[in-house]
Amino acid sequence: MKQRDAKFAIGQVVRHKVFPFRGVIFDVDAEYSNTEEWWNSIPAEIRPDRDQPFYHLLAENDEAEYVAYVSEQNLMSDNDPVPLRHSQVEMFFDPESAGHYRPKAVVQH
């Protein structure tokens, strides 16, 4: 497998290209690293390549807040000035600018 650099960074706000949700990145895997069960639950016609960065997001849509695991090919930058409402964002990040949050130096429980 060839080395790939992640296109997006921790703290960056992104939007899914297909499904109506956005979120802030809190972790990055250099390639797919979730379970086989999760992988096989993705319909084959929309299943992304494993050989690309996958991002962990504090995600939200109009109805819910959740954690999402998304391939790089399905994300795009989101510079919407509306802050994310996800209840865990303030635990891990400080607002920096539209489309970006700054990770807190220390996360306290």
Compute the distance between CA of residue 16 and CA of residue 3 in angstroms, rounded to an integer.
24
Compute the distance between CA of residue 51 and CA of residue 30 in angstroms, rounded to an integer.
8
pLDDT number for residue 70? 96
- CB contact at 8 A, 48 and 70: no
pLDDT number for residue 7? 95
Compute the distance between CA of residue 51 and CA of residue 2 in angstroms, rounded to an integer.
8
**Whole-prediction pTM:** 0.89
pLDDT number for residue 22? 97
Out of 41-50, 57-66, 90-99, 100-109, pick the least confident.
Answer: 100-109
pLDDT number for residue 107? 57
| 1-58 tens-digit pLDDT | 455 789 999 999 999 999 999 999 999 999 999 999 999 998 888 899 999 999 999 9
Is residue 93 exposed (0-12), middle (13-18) or buried (19+ Cβ within 10 Å)? buried
- The single-letter code of the amino acid at 65 is E
Which residue reads 């306290």 in tokens? 108
- The single-letter code of the amino acid at 94 is D
| 66-87 tens-digit pLDDT | 999 999 999 999 988 899 999 9
